Amino acid sequence: MSLDGVIARDTKSPLDSPPWARAAVDGFACLGDDVLHASLQKPARLALLGQAMAGEVFCGKVRRGQCVEVATGSSMPRGCDCVMMKEYAHNENDFILIGERGYPSLNVSARGEDVRRGEVIARKGRRIRPQDLGILRSCGIREVLVKRKPRVGIAITGSELVRSVSALGAGKILESNSLMISSLVKNCGGEVVFSRMVKDEKVSLQRVLEEGSRKSDFLLVTGGSSVGKKDLVSDIVDPLFSGVAMRPGRPFGFSRNPPVFIMSGYPVACFIQFYAFVIPVLERMLGTEIQKFAFGILGEKVASEVGRRDFVRVRMEKDLVYPVALKGSGIISSLVLSDGFITIEENREGIEAGEKVCIHMWV
């Protein structure tokens, strides 16, 4: 049972927690009725029968006029319904003087106060956090059913790509999308089961797409969506559409059978396409929310063109939101310097400073 999973079904507690009434403070367990009128001037005088420290159980039964010393977390001695804090008590031979008012239920955690047997403690679709592990474990659950991780394949296409600086000749660039995308997949609760780099050559591409599709739930193909290469990928898979009215990320296509996301080779476009198209699919497969949102006030006007949806990288200063302004749409630095993005709808020419915006936070 670990942090890395999404709960597959509502999980109920097999027991009450706490499993018995317990003392919520250090002090003296007694009957609340005995201390209803206690005060510094007229303390209640209770016979001390013994003690039950944490983990111990007091065997006898406590009656009117009696008490037992307990620690925070001690099981409540039989007969007691109240714990008076140590700070208000004084020893007098075998008696305890209580100089403060009490009542039944004071400083007692009832059995099942935190969790009742049969209560759902981990909801289906919850991504497991430390406190979920805490409540499951405290209810005696050591293993929990989680959703199968989506199996994602990655095919990086492009004859211009090389893996190492030493191979970096004229016309070549370093391949960086595979590491970036596989980290995104991991952060979103998926598993990369296939990752290949392939040149823009039909036979190799076909072999890689076939193997990748066979091994994964869906395949992410980068660098396969520009006009020149589109035909190459489209000859192999049959995209439902090619090109989306968005910026960055316009060159994007999707094929249903086999399920292939045809993505841009440009890191920024590819990254945004991942948020726009891949994360929603992972959310459906896992039945959970992956994308986190924040809300803020736009600190500076952002312009946009009508007819396409803009994905504007922004940084946050408290609840003020600023666009990360860099020339060039392929600028990967804009991802590094930002905390997330806002979208500007197709029918808007921009967003004015002072307007409330919803930020999609980087996962």
Map the footprint of a copy of itself across residues 141-160, applying CB under 8 A.
142, 158-160
Residue 171 contacts a copy of itself per CB under 8 A: yes
Q: Pick the piece of the chain touching a copy of itself (CB under 8 A) from 144-152, 169-177, 279-287, 346-354.
A: 169-177
Residue 103 contacts a copy of itself per CB under 8 A: no
The answer to whether 110 and 16 have CB atoms below 8 angstroms apart is: no
Q: Is 55 helix (H, G, I), strand (E, B) or coil?
A: coil
User: Which residues between 322 and 361 bind a copy of itself (CB under 8 A)?
Assistant: 327-328, 330-333, 335-336, 356, 358
Residue 203 contacts a copy of itself per CB under 8 A: no
Separation of alpha carbons 44 and 7, rounded Å: 52
Token pair in block for residue 171 = 């016309």
Q: Which of 8, 180, 193, 324 binds a copy of itself (CB under 8 A)?
A: 180
Residue 192 contacts a copy of itself per CB under 8 A: no
Angstrom CA distances, 44 to 82, 100, 237, stand at: 13, 8, 85
Q: Pick the piece of the chain touching a copy of itself (CB under 8 A) from 36-44, 202-210, 294-302, 303-311.
A: 294-302
Nearer residue to a copy of itself within complex by CB, 30 or 213: 30
Q: What's phi and psi for 245, nearest 5 deg?
A: -75, 75
Total residue length of the chain: 363
Separation of alpha carbons 47 and 96, rounded Å: 6
The answer to whether 132 and 138 have CB atoms below 8 angstroms apart is: no
x-marked contacts with a copy of itself along 269-288 as a string, rule CB under 8 A: --x-----------------
The answer to whether 223 and 267 have CB atoms below 8 angstroms apart is: no
User: Which residues between 238 and 257 bind a copy of itself (CB under 8 A)?
Assistant: none
Residue 161 contacts a copy of itself per CB under 8 A: yes
Residue 91 contacts a copy of itself per CB under 8 A: no
Token pair in block for residue 85 = 């804090």
